[in-house]
Structure 1
């Protein structure tokens, strides 16, 4: 929207020609900014509650740097997922306060605090091999303004570990269960808590795991009610959805 169009809209609101609700609806439909290699959606947060997130894998490093540079003009928090060390170095050149979380492969830039509700999200993993995906979920949720409890390495091969942490899990508003192999963790957690469980299958496992397909199918076929399944290794999607649930 051009400056004169925005002024006109504001004048119409002041004069009573346009209701505030109508103006907000109009602003939600504002166009993106086309910078040639990408179209920056500045009003994602207005429409969806969260700003646009940069998915880095497969993108040219120079393009990512250009996108981040444009997004920094809005002085908003930035979350870039599936980022390599080279991408981080490029972003660091234009944004010294950028932080890299190598395990989660996430880059974060915090320019403003986001208020967190009193409730929290529990991120639970079957084993330590699942922690990379779990950290993607946890850091995503934290950047979106949530408190996160990490409960790692409590898989069904040693069920006493899960039961020993049940109190922390049951008091969460939503649980993210991250597991590879046969993916049984989500069903077990789902049968023990009265909260929504977001199951994330990981590509961890031996040959018949089929790079996470076995865990995915097990979770999809869970007999526990209240279990919803994300795509393989999609920690970001789980963290985003958990944030939406936690803030309801």
Structure 2
């Protein structure tokens, strides 16, 4: 039997399995071992969203095998992050997939309709931050969120951000993506009444140390309500923003 909520619920409804047996089944079969990977078919039940494939370091053949196992377990929408263009081409030859080159994200299956409590705003300091921002935005959309993109609204031209006050002040979560000194997160944090997720990027000159200076600046933000994810971690920001935006969804 496929180890997914829908299949097990159908079995219980048809009398093929008792509730107690269903619970025991789920506890005993949390993953599928395919040798080079242990596919977590239990994650959607535990956390509300299914496992994601991290593409960096995996071969296309390995990812195809993982996708096959996910599909066997009934997973309809599959997200692949940090996916190279070469691997995307090989996977697309086997499965229909939308590949977003800038974000290095592949999506197998359809994008769900938004069902969060509000909207997520993804803002960048500059155009160079867009690849990380798109990883965050697409991740949030895959998890059922309405996303508004505000790109190139950094503090070097503060009027660009202030022209979008209605958008940022009506958001349920704001993701602030910036490199250099990372000041965008603090500025937004001082304007909104919602959580702000700061994403430091590796954009900058030598003294930025690959985003480390931005990370430290964001960690030292004087604005309350700002949390920080790791350097270039757009996926982590989009995932966290989605969970916040679904807190009151029953």
Q: Same fold (TM over 0.5)?
A: yes
Per-residue CA distance 1:75-131 (angstroms, 9 max, x = gap): 410000000111111211211x20100000000012473552251100000000000
* Structure 2 unmatched ranges of 5 or more: none
Aligned length: 238
CA distance in 2, matches of 1:168, 1:180: 22
Change (3 A) 1:2 1:125: closer
Q: State the alpha-carbon separation in 1 of the partners of residues 118 and 34 from structure 2.
A: 39
Deviations 1:41-95 (A, max 9, x none): 1111111011000001011221112112222232410000000111111211211
**Could you tell me whether the CA contact under 8 Å between 1:28 and 1:47 is conserved in 2?**
no
- Cα gap change, 1:237 to 1:2, in 2 (>3 Å): closer
Residues 1:176 and 1:28: Cα distance change in structure 2 (over 3 Å): farther
- Alpha carbons 1:44, 1:52 under 8 Å: kept: yes
Are the counterparts in 1 of residues 114 and 146 from structure 2 also a CA contact under 8 Å? no
Equivalence map 1:85-104=2 (5 Å) = 85-95=85-95, 97-104=96-103
Deviation at 1:27, TM superposition (A): 2.0
Asked if 1:116 corresponds to 2:115, the answer is yes
How far apart are the structure 2 equivalents of 1:75 and 1:238? 23
Give the structure 1 partner of residue 155 of structure 2.
Answer: 156
Change (3 A) 1:28 1:236: farther
Residue 127 (structure 1) aligns with: 126
Task: Describe the SS at the equivalent of 2:148.
Answer: strand
Give the C-alpha shift of residue 221 in structure 1. Answer: 0.3
Q: Give the Cα–Cα distance (whole angstroms) in 1 for the partners of residues 115 and 28 of structure 2.
A: 27
The within-5 A match list for 1:191-230 is: 191-230=190-229
SS at match of 1:133: helix
Q: Please state whether the residue corresponding to 1:210 is helix, strand or coil.
A: helix
Secondary structure of the structure 2 residue equivalent to 1:79: strand
Calculate the TM-score normalised by the size of structure 1: 0.89
Per the TM alignment, residue 31 of structure 1 is displaced from its structure 2 partner at its CA by 2.6
Q: Which moved more, 1:35-44 or 1:229-238?
A: 35-44
Contact in 2 for aligned 1:68/1:91 (Cα 8 Å): no
Following the alignment from structure 1 to structure 2, what is the Cα–Cα distance between the partners of residues 2 and 239? Answer: 28
**TM-score under structure 2 length normalisation:** 0.88
